[in-house]
Chain A
Amino acid sequence: EPEVTQTPSHQVTQMGQEVILRCVPISNHLYFYWYRQILGQKVEFLVSFYNNEISEKSEIFDDQFSVERPDGSNFTLKIRSTKLEDSAMYFCASSYRDYLSGELFFGEGSRLTVL
């Protein structure tokens, strides 16, 4: 069964360092998303991406964050200068359509710990 894969599963970094979280969406999917969950809090929408550009982003997704699809298979989330409050589980997701007749598939998550 096709699945969304994420690497790394866990990353520990020092505050101020750059981090790149990688995702391989399902191969024929066109829409890509990042969500995050700070420990004990809600899963929050960060950004959606289609046709090589951001289609929607939340207030959380500030200038420290960026996304790209560098090679047609990977979808990455970059945090330029990590802060303690960026510690969270980051979920990548993909879908064939951006409306709800289809299904959104999530990866297992990448846990980011900022020290």
Chain B
Amino acid sequence: AQSVTQLGSHVSVSEGALVLLRCNYSSSVPPYLFWYVQYPNQGLQLLLKYTTGATLVKGINGFEAEFKKSETSFHLTKPSAHMSDAAEYFCAVSYSGTYKYIFGTGTRLKVLA
């Protein structure tokens, strides 16, 4: 079955350090790929997406992700963490081209002062 794996349910980084959140998908057929962020008491917000074209995708708040077909990965990075980045991050894929997403379990990012 198609699935999405996010390594690390909790990740802690120091303020100013690199943020790396991992996402791998299971299918040999490349899907459409998304990262969502959820701040406390808020809905899921789209950070960035890959549908076609350039494999390095830039999103909001300084985040970016690179689609690597050979590794079936779509890891999320940010060069320098900010306290406001503390949130839960969800990787999602769509194989159908619609919003029937398959989500990962989420990674809660903690930023240490």
Complex Cα distance A4/B44, Å?
11
Let me know if B32 and A100 touch, CB within 8 A: yes
Q: Are A106 and B43 in contact (CB under 8 A)?
A: yes
Bitwise, A90-113 to B at CB < 8 A (1) or not (0) is 010101001111011111110000
- Within A14-50, the residues touching B (CB, 8 Å) are 31, 33, 35, 40-45, 48
- Which residues in chain A, 58-115, are within 8 Å of chain B measured between CB atoms? 58, 91, 93, 95, 98-101, 103-109
A10 to chain B, nearest CB (A): 11
Q: Is the CB of B103 within 8 A of A44?
A: yes
Q: Report the bound CA distance from A91 to B104 in whole Å.
A: 15
Would A100 and B99 be within 8 Å (CB), given that A42-B105, A43-B90, A43-B106 are in contact?
A: yes
Give the shortest distance, in Å, between A57 (CB) and chain B (any CB): 10
Chain B window 1-33, contacts with chain A (Cβ cutoff 8 Å), 1 for yes, 0 for no: 000100000000000000000000000000010
Q: Is the CB of A99 within 8 A of B43?
A: no
- Inter-chain contacts of A93 with B (CB < 8 A): 44, 99
Q: Indicate whether A91 sits within 8 Å of B100 (C-beta atoms), given known contacts A41-B105, A100-B32, A100-B94.
A: no
User: Taking CB as reference atom, which chain A residue is nearest B99?
Assistant: A104
- Chain B CB within 10 Å, residue with most, of A41, A44, A101, A108: A108
Please tell me if the beta carbons of B99 and A95 are within 8 angstroms of each other in the complex: yes
Chain B residue nearest to A57 in the complex (CB) = B100
Interface string of B52-65 (1 = CB under 8 A from A): 00000000000000
Whether the pair B103, A43 counts as a contact (CB closer than 8 A) is yes
From A4, A33, A42, A45, contact of B104 by CB (8 A): A42
Docked CA distance A109–B41 (Å): 8
Instruction: Kindly provide the distance from the CB of B56 to the nearest chain A CB, expressed in whole angstroms.
Output: 18
Distance in Å: Cβ of A91 to nearest Cβ of chain B: 7
Residue in B closest to A43 when the chains form the complex, CB atoms: B103
Q: A99-B97, A100-B51 are in contact. Are A45 and B42 (CB under 8 A)?
A: no
10 nearest A-B residue pairs (beta carbon): A43-B103, A106-B43, A106-B44, A108-B43, A104-B99, A107-B43, A42-B103, A42-B105, A45-B100, A98-B98
